[in-house]
């Protein structure tokens, strides 16, 4: 009788331990998918990635790229949060800053946004593309960008140089894969090329084989998800494939998709934390293995 009771007690303890472990893992999973972990209020996370590519010139080894998108300013992304983003960029000190589109909810907020972002000290410049919500205010946005030292890449490209080495940065104005693919094909032997485009689907659809790295936004990480596993709205024809973070096209091109900073339609986020992306480039694959 005593032996039987002891066995039952052991089974109960073992079961409780398993339940405890499962609950702990579930809590960690929820924290990973939903929690705001950044010390900058209004920025849910600073997401860091290392990208390795043998095409990267040696002098660009360790070069850093800051990327933010979908501010939809002000939406849920208020003035105080904008100041925190500028502070975060200053602390991260990227070599170049990229902006992925969908900037403001009304014309009057353009200058306030770009004064803050343009004031960030970035040695190799600040570059932007337009998003689908920017089409009706292109002129206002472009003028504000120019006043604040931000270069708009509207189906255009620029070259970043360190001494005699260079990499290329190109941007798509709208979702027109024929225009930008044509430019990329002309530069297919030019070495390391970064593509900046609002919609992540572009890298998959356009077949841009010579691109080394793509930055995109648009999806908001779903904005509202079920623990990051299911999103009712993805804003992508590929569902969750390019929804958030670092993913790859069929041709192996890395696509980094930001969850964005602001919100559209409803001022709510759930299990899709806002973010700033910080990428470090490497020319040796061993760093990423």
pLDDT, tens digit, 9 for 90 and up, residues 117-165: 999 999 999 999 999 999 899 999 999 999 999 999 988 889 999 999 9
Pairing label, strands 245-248, 254-257: antiparallel
Per-residue pLDDT, 22? 40
Whether the Cβ atoms of residue 128 and residue 144 lie closer than 8 Å to each other: no
Side-chain-side CA neighbours of 139 within 13 Å: the count stands at 0
Per-residue pLDDT, 210? 82
pLDDT along the chain (289 residues), means of 10: 54 53 40 68 95 96 98 92 96 98 96 97 97 93 98 91 95 65 60 93 84 96 90 93 97 96 91 96 89
Instruction: Provide the sign of the torsion angle of the four alpha carbons 181, 187, 193, 196, taken in this order.
Output: negative
Per-residue pLDDT, 25? 36
Whether the Cβ atoms of residue 150 and residue 193 lie closer than 8 Å to each other: no
Cα 95 to Cα 126, 145, 147, 227, 279: the distances in Å are: 9, 19, 21, 33, 10
Whether the Cβ atoms of residue 134 and residue 154 lie closer than 8 Å to each other: no
Per-residue pLDDT, 123? 98
Distance CA 18, CA 4 (A): 21
With 0.85 as the threshold, say if the pTM is over it.
yes
With b meaning 16 or more CB within 10 Å and e meaning fewer, what string describes 221-257? bbbbbeebeebeebbbeeebbbbbbbbebeeebbbbb
Per-residue pLDDT, 258? 98
Short-list 110, 159, 109, 157, CA closest to 129: 157
Distance CA 18, CA 13 (A): 9
Short-list 37, 126, 116, CA closest to 73: 116
Angle between helices 79-92 and 110-118 (to 10 degrees): 20
Preceding amide of 74 cis, omega within 30: yes
Per-residue pLDDT, 154? 87
């Amino acid at each position: 009788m005593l032996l039987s009771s002891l066995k039952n007690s052991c089974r109960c303890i073992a079961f409780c331990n398993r339940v405890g472990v499962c609950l702990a893992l579930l809590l960690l999973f929820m924290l990973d998918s939903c929690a705001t972990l950044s010390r900058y209020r209004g920025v849910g996370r600073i997401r860091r990635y290392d990208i390795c590519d043998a095409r990267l010139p040696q002098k660009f080894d360790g070069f850093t790229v800051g990327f933010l998108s979908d501010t939809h300013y002000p939406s849920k992304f208020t003035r105080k949060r904008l100041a925190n983003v500028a502070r975060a960029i200053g602390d991260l000190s990227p070599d170049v800053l990229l902006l992925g589109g969908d900037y403001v909810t009304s014309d009057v907020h353009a200058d306030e946004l770009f004064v803050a972002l343009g004031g960030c000290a970035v040695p190799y410049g600040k570059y932007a593309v337009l998003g689908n919500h920017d089409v009706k205010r292109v002129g206002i946005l472009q003028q504000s960008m120019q006043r604040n030292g931000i270069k708009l890449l509207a189906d255009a490209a620029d070259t970043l140089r360190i001494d005699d080495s260079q990499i290329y940065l190109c941007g798509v104005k709208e979702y027109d894969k024929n225009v930008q693919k044509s430019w990329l094909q002309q530069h297919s032997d030019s070495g390391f090329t970064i593509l900046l485009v609002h919609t992540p689907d572009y890298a998959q659809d356009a077949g841009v084989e010579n691109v080394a790295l793509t930055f995109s936004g648009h999806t908001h990480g779903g904005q509202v998800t079920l623990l990051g596993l299911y999103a009712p709205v993805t804003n992508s024809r590929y569902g969750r494939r390019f929804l958030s973070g670092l993913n790859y096209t069929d041709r192996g091109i890395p696509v980094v998709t930001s969850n964005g900073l602001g919100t559209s339609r409803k001022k709510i986020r759930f299990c899709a934390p806002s973010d700033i992306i910080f990428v470090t480039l490497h020319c040796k694959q061993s760093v990423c293995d």
